[in-house]
């Protein structure tokens, strides 16, 4: 893309809003670009698209590799387009490599949905800081919504901090689990269950059905301890089979019930507002760290202070105070 003129951006925005697929792809490429002039143009474009966004229901989906995320999204997505929805699938995977490895949101992993004219699948933005990857996915979500997608599914792996980043950008967070080994809760982090709006035990088919039932009662018991009494929403625990399309309609009915409840109570708007503020702060933190690390005075002084710290000639607090003073903070 050459220098994006204001006129180009107006044109691109109206094409996105008209639902032109090529424009949608171009807009997301712009949002994902790290070139400073593209970054500025992307922000300008987003400002034009923002009034047309926000209407989709945003659902995050996590689970360990192999739990069946892509299989489930493929089937669920097609169920939804069959009912007239337009479904966008995005992903957050800071470790994702374009060569090899599982690239979340990859079209080859969702072969059926990828062929669906009412679906749009975008792999995770290329590896980078979690903040950078999450920001690009979040901004891509705005573009998809402006293009008329009314369901946005955001996939992430069940490892690391990326789950929190996704939970912070969606209206509903779904955790997929494997049947069996329910007694030790599969070593799954308690923190993830606390983020969950619903747990679904996948692969509840064939020989796994009985094990899935046991896992469900274990998770229900765990939730009873975790969910405060009187909470407006108790995360349902369901058995599904993404492969065989079992339980997915019931699962989506719960998503819709949650939406209706949280719209009525105002919780949806409150959650989104809170997310905006958190987003602002995480961008401020990332921006501050970047400025700090690239400041020539800090670059010159930091190695000296680090050496002093190792030798016991200063304290971490004194060193930090000096660095912040250099920046005028
Ligand atoms: P992901 O890494 O979480 O995206 O998992 P995949 O969707 O790639 O699935 C991993 C493997 O589990 C594949 O071989 C799938 O065919 C299989 N699988 C996924 N969902 C189901 C299911 O509901 N039942 C069964 N039996 N197998 C499944």
Find the helix or strand (DSSP H, E) in which 173 lies.
strand 172-177
CB–CB of 216/201 below 8 Å?
Answer: yes
- Whether residue 317 is predicted with pLDDT greater than 50 in this model: the reply is yes
* Domains and their CATH numbers in the chain: 1-52 (1.20.5.170), 54-264 (3.40.50.300), 279-326 (no CATH)
Nearest CA to ligand 1 atom 24: 203
Q: What is the pLDDT of residue 181?
A: 56
CB–CB of 4/13 below 8 Å?
Answer: no
Q: The tokens of 147 are what?
A: 């293009």
The set of protein residues with a Cβ atom below 6 angstroms from ligand 1 is 63, 65-71, 102, 109, 202-203, 205, 241-243
Q: The tokens of 129 are what?
A: 């800081």
CB–CB of 237/199 below 8 Å?
Answer: yes
Ligand 1 probe mutation, 243, 244, 245, 246, most atoms within 8 A of CB: 243
pLDDT level of residue 2 (50, 70, 90 thresholds): low
Bridge-partner residues for 59, per DSSP? Answer: 153, 172
The mean of the pLDDT values for the chain is: 89
CB–CB of 211/180 below 8 Å?
Answer: yes
Closest ligand 1 atom to the C-alpha of 246?
A: 23
**Mean pLDDT value across residues 3-11:** 70
Cα 51 to Cα 42, 45, 48, 145, distances in angstroms: 15, 11, 7, 10
- Any idea which of 178-192, 193-207, 241-255 has the lowest mean pLDDT? 178-192
pLDDT tens readout for residues 124-164: 887 678 888 899 999 999 999 999 999 999 999 876 788 99
Planar angle of CA 222, 223, 228, nearest 5 degrees: 125
CB–CB of 198/254 below 8 Å?
Answer: yes
Q: What is the pLDDT of residue 99?
A: 44
pLDDT tens readout for residues 77-109: 999 999 999 999 999 988 765 544 466 777 788
Closest ligand 1 atom to the C-alpha of 155?
A: 4
Planar angle of CA 240, 179, 123, nearest 5 degrees: 65
**Mean pLDDT value across residues 6-32:** 92
**β 151-157/87-92 pair status:** parallel
Q: What is the pLDDT of residue 97?
A: 56
Alpha carbon distance 55, 280 (integer Å): 21
Alpha carbon distance 63, 68 (integer Å): 8
Nearest CA to ligand 1 atom 14: 66
What is the chain's Cα-based Rg? 22
Ligand 1 probe mutation, 60, 63, 70, 71, most atoms within 8 A of CB: 71
CB–CB of 86/148 below 8 Å?
Answer: yes
Q: What is the pLDDT of residue 186?
A: 53
Q: Per DSSP, which regions of 94-157 are E strands?
A: 119-121, 151-157
Alpha carbon distance 201, 205 (integer Å): 10
Q: List, in order, residues 6 or more apart from 272 with CB less than 8 Å away.
A: 54, 171
Helix (H, G, I), strand (E, B) or coil at 264: helix
Q: The tokens of 106 are what?
A: 């990859």
Q: What is the pLDDT of residue 226?
A: 79
**Mean pLDDT value across residues 61-67:** 90
**Mean pLDDT value across residues 261-287:** 92
């Amino acid at each position: 893309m050459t220098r994006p003129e204001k006129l180009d951006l107006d044109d691109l925005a109206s094409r996105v809003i008209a639902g032109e697929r090529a424009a949608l792809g171009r807009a997301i490429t712009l949002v994902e670009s790290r070139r400073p002039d593209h970054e500025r143009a992307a922000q300008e474009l987003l400002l034009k698209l923002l009034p047309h966004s926000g209407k989709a229901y945003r659902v995050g989906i996590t689970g360990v590799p192999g739990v069946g995320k892509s299989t489930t999204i493929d089937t669920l997505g097609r169920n939804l387009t069959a009912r007239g929805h337009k479904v966008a699938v995005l992903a957050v995977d800071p470790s994702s490599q374009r060569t090899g490895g599982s690239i979340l949101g990859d079209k080859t992993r969702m072969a059926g949905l990828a062929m669906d004219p009412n679906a749009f699948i975008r792999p995770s933005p290329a590896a980078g800081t979690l903040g950078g990857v999450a920001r690009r996915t979040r901004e891509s979500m705005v573009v998809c919504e402006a293009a008329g997608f009314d369901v946005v599914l955001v996939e992430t792996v069940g490892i690391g901090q990326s789950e929190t980043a996704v939970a912070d950008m969606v209206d509903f967070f779904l955790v997929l689990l494997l049947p069996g080994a329910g007694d030790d809760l599969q070593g799954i982090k308690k923190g993830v269950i606390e983020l969950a709006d619903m747990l679904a035990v996948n692969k509840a088919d064939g020989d796994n059905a009985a094990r899935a039932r046991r896992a469900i009662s274990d998770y229900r018991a765990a939730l009873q301890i975790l969910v405060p009494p009187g909470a407006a929403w108790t995360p349902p625990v369901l058995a599904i089979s993404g492969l065989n399309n079992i339980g997915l309609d019931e699962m989506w009915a719960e998503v819709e019930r949650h939406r209706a409840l949280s719209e009525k109570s105002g919780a949806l708007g409150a959650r989104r507002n809170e997310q905006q503020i958190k987003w602002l702060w995480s961008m401020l933190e990332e921006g501050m760290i970047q400025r700090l690390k690239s400041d020539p005075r800090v670059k010159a002084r930091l190695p000296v202070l680090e050496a002093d710290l190792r030798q016991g000639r200063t304290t971490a607090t004194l060193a930090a105070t000096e660095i912040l003073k250099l920046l005028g903070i």
